[in-house]
Amino acid sequence: MSECIYAPGGDTFTQKIPRDTMALDISVGSNTTEIINSTNAPADDIINAELLGNSNLIVDGVDVTLNPTVGAGVLQTNTVSAINGANVVVSGVAGVTAANAITYNIGADSSLQYGGELLDVSLLENTKINFDANGTGTLKVIMPTIDLNLSTFPTISGLSNGDQLIVEKDNLIGANTVGNQVSFDEATGVLQVQFVSSGPIPITTNLASFQITDYPAGATFSIDGSGNVVFACYLRGTRIATVDGEKPVEEIQAGDRLLTARGGIATVKWVGHRKLNSSRIKASDAIRAYPVRFSAGSLAPNVPNRDLYVSPGHHMYFDGKLVPAMLLVNGQTVTQEFNRTSFEYFHVELDQFDILIAEGAAAESYVDTGNRDMFENAASVAMNPDFGVIEGRPQIEGIEVVRGGPVIEALRKSILKRAEQLTGVRRVTETGLHLQIGDRTIESVNGSNEGSVRFELSAPVDGDVIIASHSAVVRDTTAHARRDLRKVGVGLSQIVVETPSGRHAIDLQDPRLEGLHEQQDVHGMSMRWTGGAARIPAALLEGATAIELHILRTYTYWKKAA
């Protein structure tokens, strides 16, 4: 069963489709935009689309299989776009010629797959793919079993760090052959994805070729262990101290001689790199994935001498101690950049493990622990990308790895003090606690720190009440090594409402409360941290003349100078 939609020329058309539909037939008229989304197409639906003269089909946030047919015409430009996490599989395109080709757009967190045994010369020669995903798009091309002789190649534009291209060859029987090598000619912009067989005499087979446009000078491509073609460019990498002066990490090659932090010279054995993009990082891996930035001068005067980015598990060197970068984050001068959409790491392996000088700061060289083909995290710098603590580091006299205790506390105190000097912010313990009702600010009548804090209401509550205070990420302001990313304000053990008829407590587990962290036990007492702006709905405060907040814990907060 299928439902047919016709979108007349010049319109944008969306229509609800019965949910028992097995396939959706649409005809997109000339100069018309048709939108397929969750309101009119079930997940994993099949879309039979007729594209007529300069039409535009948008698949928005749903997974579909698309069978497009291009209407006859001259010099038509038909567009299919996957946006907002859509995953589109194109199967069985018909009617494509040089005069009426299809352009595919791949948007943020979206993917496009096309190919297989139905792929022919006309489809490939006239296909254009545009990435508009900021490093979060994926294109998968499955080549047919029969080799195709193309006079022109499919065109790919808009590639950026993190975008993925996967090429396979359909074998009819058994698993597809996945590309494991790339060749890129910067002079012509032609990218070839190849398969190199194993064995004593490797055989190289070209699976597919693409015409890459708008790539920058110096662009390079590689392929990872999963068959993803990785685009590497825009590298303004970390400067590493060499015997010939500082050199960007991406320009360092095996055999180069580097200066070490302990006054020696070491030879580069291998340089590798790895990219990540945010759409493929699980929340549980974030703290071990996103790069840590040490701003210039954050560790000591002129150390580093400009901003330095490393992976969170990368160890920095301090007077014989190696400390993971993630344990030094303070939220001001040492930050973790969770807002990056894509990033790339470089690692530098020496002939023998040692301490390098990166942007004037001492940092370890790469250690191979069996993860040579599994590099994580990224951005314009970094060495040794990994999601966890490095193990297998050789024992070197005078070098010790520390992850807690007095050494970390002393380092963090020093870095926190420098942050105050460099930024003008200061650490404070006063909470700044107050209530906000619309544009009204209500201060407490008896202070704002631990204990019972009372707020008297001179007027009826005419809206939700915000419990507002200073806030801080747990790990940022403490001298202790923490990995807690919660943003906390004040720790509430009780909320008491006073009305003309008496007093009553609001259950801290009431699901109508907003902006509170999960309940935790503090020496036998239940407590919930606010996030700095907890909300009490007006429905829980009818007739209130006063509110008492029982504060069990406060924290140390960053505060800008007045």
DSSP per position, 460-527? ---S-EEEE---EEHHHH-SS------EE--EEEEEEEEETTEEEEEPTT-TT-EEEPPPEEETTEEE
For 120, residues 6+ apart whose C-beta sits below 8 A from its C-beta are 144, 148
Calpha distance 344→388 (Å, rounded):
17
Amino acid type, 373: D
Of 323, 349, 377, nearest to 249 by C-alpha is 349
* C-beta of residue 91 within 8 angstroms of C-beta of residue 68: no
Calpha distance 347→382 (Å, rounded):
7
* C-beta of residue 83 within 8 angstroms of C-beta of residue 60: yes
Of 366, 337, 343, nearest to 354 by C-alpha is 366
Label each residue of 317-330 as H, E or C: EECCEEEEHHHHCC
User: Mean pLDDT for each 10-residue chunk of the chain (562 residues)?
Assistant: 38 38 68 82 70 82 80 67 87 60 83 71 71 74 72 79 75 73 80 80 83 64 57 54 90 90 89 72 78 91 89 87 92 87 78 90 73 36 38 62 88 96 93 93 82 91 94 94 92 96 95 96 93 96 94 94 69
Residues in the chain, total: 562
Beta bridge partners of 191: 184, 210
Longest C-alpha distance within the chain, in Å?
91
Look up residue 545 and give its two tokens. 């003349």
Angle ∠(383,386,390) on CA atoms, nearest 5 = 95
Of 311, 334, 452, 450, nearest to 390 by C-alpha is 311
Q: What does the pLDDT read at residue 162?
A: 56
Angle ∠(23,29,30) on CA atoms, nearest 5 = 145
Of 544, 547, 536, nearest to 461 by C-alpha is 544
Helices and strands (H, E) in the chain, number of each type: 3, 48
Look up residue 283 and give its two tokens. 């929340």
Instruction: Residue 42: count other Cβ atoms within 10 Å of its Cβ.
Output: 17
Q: Is 222 exposed, middle or buried (0-12, 13-18, 19+ CB in 10 A)?
A: middle
Calpha distance 486→473 (Å, rounded):
5
Label each residue of 268-308 as H, E or C: EEEEEEEEEEHHHCCHHHHHHCCCEEECCCCCECCECCCCE
In this structure, the dihedral spanned by the alpha carbons of residues 16, 18, 20 and 26, taken in order and rounded to 10 degrees, is: -60
pTM of structure: 0.56
Instruction: Residue 76: count other Cβ atoms within 10 Å of its Cβ.
Output: 19
